[in-house]
Amino acid sequence: MKAEGNGHGHKAGSVALSFLVGGIVGAGVALLLAPESGRKMRKRIVHFSEDAKEKAEGSLEGVKDKVTTAFEKGKVLLKRA
């Protein structure tokens, strides 16, 4: 069985994860370059990092679900063989 991809050897999940990581890095850089007071900046960084952590955990959960589903499908296919 061939894994579905975008035709260039990349799976859709890895491309989506790349965009997510790029967005998080870009937002972090934007926060660091924005002119604000130290106290405000620290609060924004804490808030941003908490949001990023929640998004990453959500993405990780989605990946775990996909891997578990693929594993279960593989077990079924192996039992049929």
Question: Tell me: the pLDDT tens digits for 44-75?
Answer: 888 888 888 888 888 888 888 888 888 888 88
Residue 4 in any domain: the answer is: no
- Per DSSP, the chain holds a count of helices (H) and strands (E) of 2, 0
Residues of the domain holding 53: 12-80
Query: Does 2 reside within a domain?
Result: no
In a domain? residue 40: yes
Q: Which amino acid is at 3?
A: A
* Distance (Å, whole) CA 72 – CA 66: 10
Query: Each residue of 28-37: b (16+ CB within 10 Å) or e?
Result: eeeeeeeeee
Q: Determine, yes or no, domain membership for 69.
A: yes
In the chain, the amino acid numbered 16 is A
Say how many domains are in the chain. 1
DSSP 3: P
Q: Answer whether residue 30 shows pLDDT above 60.
A: yes
